[in-house]
Structure 1
Amino acid sequence: MGEAHGGAVRMVRVLVGLALGALWWWAVLRLAFSPRAGVVEGAVAAGGWGLSLLPVHCVPKSQAAGAVGSDQWRPRIQAWLRTQRARRRPRPPAPDPHRPI
C-alpha cells in the first residue's frame, strides 16, 4: 500500500507542477503578445519567476551530506579577523638605505 500511495503522491506532484508551469507560460505569453494583458498576468508571471529563485531542494543541515556546521565557521572568521587587524597595525618605518647603521 505504501509504494502505491507514494506513486500516487508523485503523480499528483507532477500534475500540479505541470499545471502551474502551464499557467505561468500562459501569463508570460499573454503579457508578451496581448494588448489586453493586465495585473493578473503580471502577478502570475512575476510570482512564478520569484518562486524560481527559491532553493527548493533544501534539507535540514543535520541531514545534508557534507554540510559545514556553524561551529566550524567561528574559527575561520576569527582567523580572518586576526589577519585584518594585523594588516591595520602600523608598521615600523623601513630603514633608510642612505643612513649608516
Structure 2
Amino acid sequence: MVRRRVPLVTLALTAGGLVVGGLWWWAVLRLVLVPERSGLVEGAVAAGGWGLSLLPVHVTASAAAGGRTRVGRALEGMGGKRFTTASRRRRSDGESDPS
C-alpha cells in the first residue's frame, strides 16, 4: 500500500473550506426553516456565499503582448511542455465567407 503525505497547507485549506461551507449551509437553512428567528448575520452570510458563486472563476489573466504568463514560465522552468493557447482567427479581409 502506498502512503502519501498530504501537505499541511492542503489540509488547512480543505478544513477551512468545509467550515465556511458548513456556515453557509447553516445560514441558508436557518433563513428557510426559521425566518422569524434569523437575523442580519444569517442574511449576510447567505448573500455573501451566493455572491461568491457568481464570480467568473474561468477568467484568467492574459499575458502581456509577446510575453508569457507566470504559470507558463514556471512550467518551462520545470521542464514541462508549453500547451497551446487559443487565439483569434485572423481574416485577410473583414467579410465573411460566401459559402
5 Å-filtered alignment, 1:43-54, equals: 43-54=44-55
Shift of residue 67, structure 1, vs aligned partner:
3.0
Could you tell me which runs of 5 or more consecutive residues in structure 2 were left unpaired when the two chains were aligned: 63-68, 73-81
2:23 is matched with 23
Which protein shows a greater Rg? 1
**Greater share of helix residues, 1 or 2?**
1
CA 1:56–1:42 in structure 2 vs 1: closer, same or farther (change >3 Å)? same
Normalised to the residue count of structure 1, the TM-score between the two structures is 0.55
CA offsets 1:57-93 (integer angstroms, 9 cap, x no match): 766554494431xxx32626x86x523xx8xxxxxxx
Moved more, 59-68 or 39-48: 59-68
Report how many aligned residue pairs link the two structures. Answer: 77
1:91 is matched with none
Could you tell me which runs of 5 or more consecutive residues in structure 1 were left unpaired when the two chains were aligned: 87-101
SS in 1 for 2:7: helix
Shift of residue 40, structure 1, vs aligned partner:
1.8
| In structure 2, C-alpha distance between the alignment counterparts of 1:67 and 1:39, rounded to whole Å | 46
| In structure 2, C-alpha distance between the alignment counterparts of 1:50 and 1:66, rounded to whole Å | 33
1:67 is matched with 85
CA 1:65–1:41 in structure 2 vs 1: closer, same or farther (change >3 Å)? farther
Shift of residue 38, structure 1, vs aligned partner:
2.1
CA 1:48–1:12 in structure 2 vs 1: closer, same or farther (change >3 Å)? same
Root mean square deviation of aligned Cα: 3.4
SS in 2 for 1:73: coil
Q: Displaced runs of 4+ in structure 1, greater than 6 A? A: none
